[in-house]
């Protein structure tokens, strides 16, 4: 009979908890939202998207704004 391999479980009581820094600062997040909003605006102005695409872009803008 072969023995079942059971890996050792680390003792989490001895581990130090570490809080990870945020992935983006508020300024970076605001800049990326502004950049995406500008890209959507350019697409609407210059590409003349279909009504279906306009609807998708409109819902994306509302999601960016948080409404």
Query: Is 21 contained in some domain?
Result: no
CB 54 within 8 A of CB 44: yes
Question: What's the pLDDT tens digit per position in 10-58?
Answer: 666 666 666 666 677 878 888 888 888 899 989 989 998 999 999 999 9
Residue numbers of the domain that contains 36: 27-67
> Six-digit token pair at 47?
């590409």
pLDDT of residue 53: 92
Query: Is 65 contained in some domain?
Result: yes
> What is the tally of structural domains in the chain?
1
Higher pLDDT, residue 39 or 65: 39
Q: How far apart are CA 43 and CA 57, in angstroms?
A: 9
Query: Is 36 contained in some domain?
Result: yes
């Amino acid at each position: 009979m072969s023995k079942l391999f059971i890996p050792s479980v680390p003792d989490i009581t001895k581990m130090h908890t570490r809080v990870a820094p945020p992935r983006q600062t508020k300024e970076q997040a605001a800049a990326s939202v502004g950049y995406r909003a500008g890209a959507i605006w350019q697409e609407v102005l210059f590409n003349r998207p279909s009504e279906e695409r306009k609807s998708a872009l409109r819902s994306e803008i509302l999601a960016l704004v948080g409404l």
